[in-house]
């Protein structure tokens, strides 16, 4: 637990006031975002006062807040917005897809990646509205690559990556590489 900022060689700073190991978070965050602009970003990881978790990106201030409940138990089925929309008579809906997380580090990483993607969208000069699915897909792809996490539908059936990884999320924000 660190109440001071710890600085990463990629240029971001982390302040962690949870029981999660600060250096483990620092390595996870840095490895996951290697190659993307992070210079000047300040990240706070702290205990949530109520919600299971939350995240906020203040990209103009270069800040990300990650709030995690210390009362969560793992494995944790994180509800995501990665499923493609299905059109039906009278509208559309999204099936419920969850990603199985084995610990608080994985949840912190998911929230961090989701919020970083919001930041990349702005840095790339893209419209930031309605990007929750893309943010979740960006985070889910990295968690699957790094930890082999499983995606499941609401019946518990395992979902193949091709069924939800439908956007070129990296290409959508590639211009952020040149804005840093």
Average pLDDT of every residue of the chain: 94
Cα of first residue to Cα of last residue in the chain, in angstroms, is 30
Task: Say yes or no to pLDDT of 4 above 90.
Answer: no
Per residue in 108-145, pLDDT tens? 999 999 999 999 999 999 999 989 999 999 999 999 99
Note the pLDDT of residue 6: 86
Q: What is the pTM of this model?
A: 0.94
Range of the domain at 117: 2-179
Q: Which of 47-56, 73-82, 83-92, 110-119 has the lowest mean pLDDT?
A: 83-92
Note the pLDDT of residue 30: 97
Neighbouring residues of 94: CB distance < 8 A, sequence distance ≥ 6: 81, 83, 84, 85, 86, 133
Task: Say yes or no to pLDDT of 3 above 80.
Answer: no
Structural domains of the chain, count: 1
Note the pLDDT of residue 44: 97
Average pLDDT, integer, range 52-59 = 95
Average pLDDT, integer, range 142-154 = 96
One-letter-per-residue 3-state SS of the chain: CEEEEEECCCCCEEEECCCCCHHHHHHHHHHHCCCCCCCCCEEEEEECCCCCEEEEEECCCCEEEEEECCCCCCCEEEEECCCCCEEECCEEECCCEEEEECCHHHHHHHHHHHHHHHHHHHHCCCCCCCCHHHHHHHHHHHHHHHHCCCEECCCCCECCHHHCCCCCHHHHCCCHHHHC
Q: Which of 4-8, 18-22, 118-122, 143-147 has the lowest mean pLDDT?
A: 4-8
Share of the chain above pLDDT 90, in %: 85
Note the pLDDT of residue 2: 56
CB 78 within 8 A of CB 110: yes
């Amino acid at each position: 637990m660190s109440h001071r900022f710890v600085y990463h060689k990629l240029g971001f700073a982390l302040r962690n006031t949870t029981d999660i190991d600060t250096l483990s978070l620092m390595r996870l965050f840095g490895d996951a975002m290697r190659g993307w602009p992070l210079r000047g970003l300040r990240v706070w990881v702290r205990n949530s006062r109520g919600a299971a978790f939350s995240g906020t990106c203040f990209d103009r201030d270069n800040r990300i807040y990650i709030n995690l409940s210390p009362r969560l138990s793992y494995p944790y089925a994180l509800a995501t917005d990665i499923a493609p929309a299905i059109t039906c008579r009278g509208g559309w809906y999204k099936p419920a897809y969850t990603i199985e997380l084995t610990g608080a580090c994985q949840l912190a990483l998911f929230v961090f990646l989701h919020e970083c993607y919001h930041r990349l969208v702005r840095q790339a000069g893209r419209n930031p509205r309605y990007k929750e699915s893309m943010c979740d897909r960006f985070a889910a792809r990295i968690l699957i690559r790094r930890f082999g996490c499983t995606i499941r539908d609401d019946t518990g059936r395992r979902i193949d990556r091709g069924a939800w990884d439908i956007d070129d999320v990296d290409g959508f924000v590639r211009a952020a590489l040149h804005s840093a």
